[in-house]
């Protein structure tokens, strides 16, 4: 298959690119800068993209967007988080819809932030959206694919949970503290964390590309969500380090940033189930946190 990918330099994009190329697929990175062989140029802010280079591709995976944990949420950063997703997705979807030979599928990024802070409620793809900043971003993000859907392109919105990897993402940022015995639960630790290993994230995206019956919202989260306290203990156990500390709810600073950013990443509760994936026949290699940490941390 010929697969075009935005965000190919990110944690998920790099792993997906490697996986596809290893299996003999042709990957076409869609990049903002550089002149790498086989890549396409785009500039979402300027509204430009190499449409001709997308003619005839089999599928597109859209992962680009300003990182939500790249800094404190100033008004300017909030605007970058929102507009980078809306403009990029609108440009891509509109371009694909206008091609003479459009792809059969668009797998477009989203996040479980769609659901907001929901306590112990079990969340599936049919659950209503939340009412906070990230939920609003995700609703607009998903809605921006409308031109592609109207053109008959099968569109999958991958609502990704916390991606576990030892070399990138949230877990990698936490590992130094855990290794020093400073691993800590956030608040009372009863909030639910929905996670997925990078390995299964890539497998699920490829499944979405290849499974013709899969469309609409799809939760990319393992079927074994855990509380923050359980997650903290599990990581500590895997590293043989104590985890008796607590980040108070009133704390405004943490390794992930300050203020609302901390609350959104550490203190919200999202108990997400991968109902659509499992109904379509996808089987997780790492369905529970124990096997996931064994794989991610390479612990024998």
- The residues with which 216 forms a beta bridge, in sequence order, are 156
Q: How buried is 204 (Cβ within 10 angstroms: 0-12 exposed, 13-18 middle, 19+ buried)?
A: buried
Q: How buried is 299 (Cβ within 10 angstroms: 0-12 exposed, 13-18 middle, 19+ buried)?
A: exposed
Max Cα–Cα distance, the chain, nearest Å: 60
**CA atoms of 34 and 179, how far apart (whole Å):** 38
- The residues with which 253 forms a beta bridge, in sequence order, are 258
144 domain-assigned: yes
At residue 260, the pLDDT reads: 58
98 domain-assigned: yes
Tokens of 79: 């605007």
45 domain-assigned: yes
Tokens of 5: 């990918």
Strands 40-43 and 48-49: antiparallel
Domain that holds residue 111: 2-166+194-223+271-284
179 domain-assigned: no
State the DSSP code for 34. Answer: -
**Cβ atoms within 10 A of the Cβ of 192, count?**
21
CATH at 50 = 3.40.50.720
At residue 194, the pLDDT reads: 97
At residue 300, the pLDDT reads: 41
**CA atoms of 10 and 25, how far apart (whole Å):** 19
At residue 273, the pLDDT reads: 98
At residue 161, the pLDDT reads: 96
At residue 86, the pLDDT reads: 95
Q: What digits encode the pLDDT tens for the residues 31-46?
A: 987 656 689 999 999 9
Q: What is the pTM for the complete model shown?
A: 0.94
Number of domains in the chain: 1
9 domain-assigned: yes
Question: What is the distance, to the nearest Å, from the Cα of residue 222 to the centroid of all Cα atoms in its chain?
Answer: 13
Nearest to 164 by CA among 234, 115, 215: 234
For residues 91 and 35, the answer to whether their CB atoms sit within 8 Å is no
**CA atoms of 36 and 40, how far apart (whole Å):** 9
27 domain-assigned: yes
Regions of the chain with pLDDT less than 50: 252-258, 300
**CA atoms of 257 and 252, how far apart (whole Å):** 8
At residue 255, the pLDDT reads: 47
At residue 33, the pLDDT reads: 76
155 domain-assigned: yes
80 domain-assigned: yes
């Amino acid at each position: 298959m010929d697969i075009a990918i935005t965000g190919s330099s990110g944690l998920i994009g790099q792993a997906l690119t490697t996986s596809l190329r290893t299996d003999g697929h042709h990957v076409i990175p869609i990049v903002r800068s550089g002149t790498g062989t086989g890549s396409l140029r785009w500039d979402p802010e300027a509204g430009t993209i190499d449409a001709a280079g997308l003619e005839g591709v089999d599928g597109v995976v859209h992962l680009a967007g300003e990182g939500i944990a790249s800094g404190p949420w100033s008004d300017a950063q909030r605007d970058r988080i929102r507009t980078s997703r809306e403009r990029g997705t609108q440009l891509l979807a509109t371009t694909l819809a206008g091609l003479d030979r459009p792809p059969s599928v668009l797998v477009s990024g989203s996040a479980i932030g769609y659901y907001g802070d929901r306590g112990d409620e079990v969340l599936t793809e049919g659950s209503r959206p939340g009412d906070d900043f990230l939920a609003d971003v995700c609703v607009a993000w998903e809605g921006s694919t409308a031109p592609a859907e109207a053109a008959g392109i099968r569109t999958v919105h991958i609502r990704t949970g916390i991606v576990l990897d030892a070399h990138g993402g949230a877990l990698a940022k936490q590992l130094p503290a855990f290794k020093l015995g400073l691993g800590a639960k956030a608040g009372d630790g009863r909030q639910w964390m929905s996670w997925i290993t990078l390995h299964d994230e890539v497998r699920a995206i490829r499944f979405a590309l290849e499974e013709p019956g899969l469309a609409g919202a799809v939760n990319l989260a393992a079927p074994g969500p855990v509380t923050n306290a359980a997650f903290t203990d599990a990581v500590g156990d895997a590293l043989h380090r104590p985890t008796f500390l607590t980040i108070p709810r009133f704390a405004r600073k943490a390794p992930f940033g300050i203020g609302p950013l901390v609350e959104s990443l550490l203190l919200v509760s999202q108990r997400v189930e991968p109902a659509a994936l499992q109904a379509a026949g996808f089987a997780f290699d790492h369905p529970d946190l124990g096997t996931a940490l064994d794989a991610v941390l390479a612990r024998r």
